[in-house]
A and B are shown apart, each in its own frame.
Chain A
Amino acid sequence: MSALYLYPRWLRAWHWINALLFLVLMYTGASMHFGEGGWLMPFDLAVTVHNTAGILLTLGWIGFVVGNLTTENGRHYRIHLSGFVDRLIVQGRYYAQGIFRNEPHPFHVSVGMKFNTLQQLSYLGVMFGLMPLLILSGWAFLFSVSLPETLLGLPSVWLVAMAHLTLAYLLVLFLLVHMYIITTGETVTTNLRAMITGWHREDDPSSGQTEEAKS
């Protein structure tokens, strides 16, 4: 049995608030995008809730960036170039094949690095790529009256709308994959429990996978 404290309290607080806001944004965003329908929220309410949640999400994101700049958690977001491509291939092959053959996990969680390379890349891409762009396009919506009439010859609000929509779809896609991938730890719930308690524990002897992976 091993236990590592990898998810400090502020990170867990950010993460679950962020996840909750994300769900709210998805629901209210769909309500606005598709207009009212059976299970969707009334339009007016959806607008207000979506705008509010978006502003809170922005504050959360700033908190996440500051947290990673000022605490040790930031090191997990630093890419180690040596053997990078190899690690990527090994990890990809594991998800595509090895996992079905009960092969041991190619990556071992440690205090120095809690993410495997694929995970790290996707978190980096999401938190420092898609999220800021989504947030920016959201704020552009909020202040759309201050935008110029056209940008590059196209109506600027429409451009903002298309960008926001594309980013939103991409992040929903991330969320789907994210929620699935977190079940591929030592056991199905290893990662989930880590994000709730802060402790990464590999201590479930009932799972055969654990035995092998620990070797």
Chain B
Amino acid sequence: MNDQVISAGTGGWLALGLLLLSVLPGAMPQAEAAIQGRLGTDNADCLRCHRMETLGYRDPRTGDLVDLHVDGRQFGHSAHGELQCIDCHEGDFGQYPHPESVLGQQLDCVGCHQELHKADKRAYTFKTIEQEFALSIHAVSDSPKAEGFDCHRCHDPHAFRNSEVGQPIAEIVRAGNQLCLSCHKKIRDPHSTAHLWLPKRDKHWQSVRCLDCHTPLTDPGQPVSHQILAAKDSNFDCVSCHSKEARLLGRLYQYRSETDLAGGGWLSKAVFNEAYVVGMSRSPLLDALGLGVIGLTLLVLIAHGWGRYRAYRRLREDRS
């Protein structure tokens, strides 16, 4: 800590200045000179600069602005929240300016996750994810927008967190769809004709994930595949959810389990439970039988009542 050149108080302003200066070509050397030295490599040390929302630089090769901001709180809650920055960002980041050699690293999830303890014991391995992704429309599309598509396009390693058992379904759906919609913005356009075939389109968007229809069916107990399907290959079959097996939805509802109902508030969980899918209890045969018998009975009762009324009239006429 003591070997830091910049103090906590001035660090923010310095870095902001650095950003401003860095976007002005030619101003760089002075800015670097101002904070040269050792910084420390705790997450707190890194975040001292990187937590600033305006931190970024213009890539001299492409001219693109590169965002270098990391939200410390969000990171703390993410799947990687327990890790040190330097666990992934290897190299001498304790130096500022960070040495050229450590910059521009391409971090690859599968490489790391495959090495993890018991990684191959997982029901859903990263190898499988890699294979599925290779077939995904994101990987095979010719669109320039899909160029260089990697895990990080969807899974921000500083923020991503897996859905958990017991988490409200609506929240899982919202977070999942937000990922897709952050690129597929046109879908949100009220004049968009996409999904118009879908009855109760907005209701579907609130209750199921894009992924539930836009990935192939997976084996029971497996999560959704990473093989995202092109629109034309996606699931158009209502019965995949609205039926007794609800195979597509099973993957979403795996997040509900006994733990969801256990413990305090079981009654409210029971009252507000989300397990009912329209159509699951649909049976054309039972509906036809039920409504048919009820309709017939109604007719018989009306006829019976009418017969009674006539008998009553007859009785009154006899009396008078």
The answer to whether B298 and A176 touch across the interface, beta carbons within 8 angstroms, is yes
Contact A162–B281 (Cβ < 8 Å):
yes
Q: With A and B bound together, what is the CA distance between A33 and B307 in angstroms?
A: 35
B-contact bits for A65-103, CB 8 A (1 contact / 0 none):
000000000000000000000000000000100011110
- In the complex, whether B205 has a CB less than 8 A from a CB of chain A is no
Q: Mark A135-173, 1 if CB is under 8 A from B, else 0.
A: 000000111111000000011011001101110010011
Q: By the criterion CB–CB under 8 Å, are A173 and B314 in contact?
A: no
How many chain-B residues does the 8 Å CB contact rule pick out?
43
Nearest-CB distance from A187 to chain B (Å)? Answer: 10
**Least Cβ–Cβ distance between B199 and chain A, in angstroms:** 8
Give the distance to chain B from A127, nearest Cβ to Cβ, in Å. 20
A10 at the interface (CB under 8 A from B): no
Q: A146-B261, A161-B280 are in contact. Are A177 and B271 (CB under 8 A)?
A: no
B281 proximity list for chain A (CB < 8 A) = 33, 158, 161-162, 164-165
Select one of A48, A52, A166 contacting B286, CB under 8 A. A166
The answer to whether B319 and A208 touch across the interface, beta carbons within 8 angstroms, is: yes
| B200 contacts partner chain A, Cβ-Cβ < 8 Å | yes
Does any Cβ of B come within 8 Å of A113's Cβ?
Answer: no
Is the beta-carbon distance between A157 and B200 smaller than 8 angstroms? no
Is B311 a contact partner of A99 (Cβ separation < 8 A)?
Answer: yes
Cα A176 to Cα B291 in complex, Å, equals 12
Cβ-defined contact, A43 with B308, below 8 A:
no
| A24 lies within 8 A of chain B by Cβ | no
A95 cross-chain contacts in B, Cβ below 8 A: 304
Nearest-neighbor residue (CB-CB) of B271 within chain A: A51
Chain A residues whose CB sits within 8 angstroms of the CB of B276 once the complex forms = 32, 47, 141
Contacts of A106 in B (CB 8 A): none
| Interface presence of A36 (CB below 8 A) | yes
> Chain A: interface secondary structure?
helix
Task: Enumerate chain B residues within 8 angstroms of A161, measured Cβ to Cβ.
Answer: 244, 280-281
Contact A32 B278 (CB under 8 A): yes
Residue of B297, B307, B310 near A173 (CB, 8 A) is B297
Q: Are B273 and A51 in contact (CB under 8 A)?
A: yes
For the complex, is A180 an interface residue (Cβ under 8 Å from B)? Answer: yes
Q: Does A130 contact B (CB under 8 A)?
A: no
Nearest chain A CB to B225 CB, angstrom units: 21
Task: Using CB atoms, name the residue of chain B closest to A145.
Answer: B256
Known: A36-B200, A165-B281, A209-B315. A158 touches B273 (CB 8 A): no
Within 8 Å CB of A144, what residues of B?
273, 275
Q: A145–B261 contact, CB under 8 A?
A: yes
Contact with B along A186-215 (1 / 0, CB 8 A): 000000000000000000000011000000
Q: How large is the interface on A (under 10, 10 to 19, 20 to 34, 35 or more residues)?
A: 35 or more
Considering the complex, give the chain A residue whose CB is closest to the CB of B272. A48
B10 touches A (CB below 8 Å): no
Q: Residue B127 at the A interface, CB < 8 A? A: no
Query: Which A residues lie within 8 Å of B258 (CB)?
Result: 145-146
Q: Specify which chain A residues have a CB less than 8 angstroms from the CB of B200 in the assembled complex.
A: 35-36
Cβ of A155 and Cβ of B275 under 8 Å apart? no
A121 at interface by CB-CB < 8 Å: no
Per the bound structure, the CA–CA distance linking A143 and B203 in Å amounts to 24
A155 touches B244 (CB 8 A): yes
- Closest CB-CB distance, B202 to chain A, in whole Å? 12
Q: Which residues of B contact A118 (CB under 8 A)?
A: none
Q: Which partner residue on chain B sits nearest A142 by CB separation?
A: B270
B260 at the interface (CB under 8 A from A): yes
Residue of B nearest to A33 (CB): B281
Interface pair B290/A165, CB less than 8 Å apart: yes
Q: Could you say which of A43, A142, A164 contacts B273, with CB atoms under 8 Å apart? A: A142
22 A-B contact pairs sorted by A residue (CB < 8 Å): A35-B279, A48-B272, A142-B270, A142-B271, A144-B273, A145-B256, A145-B273, A145-B275, A154-B244, A161-B244, A161-B281, A162-B283, A162-B286, A164-B281, A165-B283, A169-B290, A176-B301, A180-B301, A180-B304, A183-B305, A208-B316, A208-B319
- 7 additional contacts (CB under 8 A) given A145-B275, A169-B291: A99-B311, A145-B258, A157-B280, A161-B280, A162-B281, A180-B305, A208-B319
Pairs A-B, 5 closest by C-beta atoms: A169-B290, A161-B281, A158-B244, A142-B270, A51-B271
